[in-house]
Structure 1
């Protein structure tokens, strides 16, 4: 489900491209988002710093994810639980998600969509909103960064 902000951004890009006489393949959608040095993500947690870009940055058990702030159930906006910062909530139908993005309570039947995430040559973490990984693609390369091996 696409939210209004994304729809308007894509629609505006299409209009500008058509008006400028663009032809052939497009560079597609949204620019990469530089979320800073990998070193700044040194503790587990769910960051809401990039909500204006429609994603959470989540470090959990040695992995770093960028997860969509749109609920996979009905497209409502998600937020970090103010009483339990290890959960993501949907106010619309009360779905609850783990830091990993798994749906554990409520009507959402799939996990959060992850966005492409890489580290560039300068050591900055880059999120690609154009590259999306539904739950069945979470094992694909680019859906998360392994920052450290989890100790048992």
Structure 2
């Protein structure tokens, strides 16, 4: 279940490869598609629930990083609702579970299926299961941090 979520104009593809850093500061956000309306919770989840980020750390350190990301977002956007921020991992989990990519690749373009694509599919699946399992803990931690 999700509360009524805020829709706003988003970058729409704020993923790790599209955020460029210089030292520890964001230097640029790149992508060549125009911004479009979307859920605020999705923009946060797109960065914080990236499968590689979820699995590269222990669940506890990932949750700390996700909480820090959410708090930084709220600091930069003080009008963001707590419901949107707390719901962001649920939105990220749902998007990961519902997306057909990369499972659609063998059907649409079997010639590009390789070991790396298969590994990515397995990582996405594992990350989605971890997110699904940890949602209550994550939402509680975010609610506590946002008070």
Name the structure with the higher helix share: 2
Same fold (TM over 0.5): no
The structure, 1 or 2, with the larger RCO (C-alpha pairs under 8 Å, 6+ apart) is 2
TM-score by length of 1: 0.26
Name the structure with the higher strand share: 1
